[in-house]
Amino acid sequence: MSRSPEAAKRQKIQQQQKRINDRLGLTTPYCMSDHAISRSDIHGLLADGEWHSTTEINDAANSTEGTRRLRELRAAGLHIEGRRKADSPQHEYRLAR
């Protein structure tokens, strides 16, 4: 029985999130804090490979510390690209493919 492409994508994201949590030492339920949930939500946002603004990332994190969670994802080994938006002080980010 084959899985749908959406189910396969969801499973791949869950596996990546587990590896991230393991690299950051988040191995117990107690460690799965709001920060870990925010990282997971940001990773889910970036998983589409499209560019996302800092506003979108902060919204996904439900805080103004979305870029901090983004740095934690980078520290855990994800390759996240960043660039400055044209004619704007804003930056945007995406998960490299």
How sure is the predictor about 33, in pLDDT bands with cuts at 50, 70 and 90?
Answer: low
Which residue, 54, 47, 51, is CA-closest to 78?
47
Distant-in-sequence, close-in-space partners of 11: CB < 8 Å, separation ≥ 6: 3
- Give the domain range for residue 90: 5-95
Residue 18 pLDDT greater than 80, yes or no: no
Nearest 5°: CA angle at 73, between 70 and 76? 155
Residue 61 pLDDT greater than 90, yes or no: no
User: What DSSP letter does each residue of 35-65 carry, written as one string?
Assistant: HHHHHHHHHHHHTT---EEHHHHHHHHTSS-
pLDDT, residue 35, reads 67
Give the total number of structural domains in the chain.
1
Domain with residue 85: its CATH number is 1.10.10
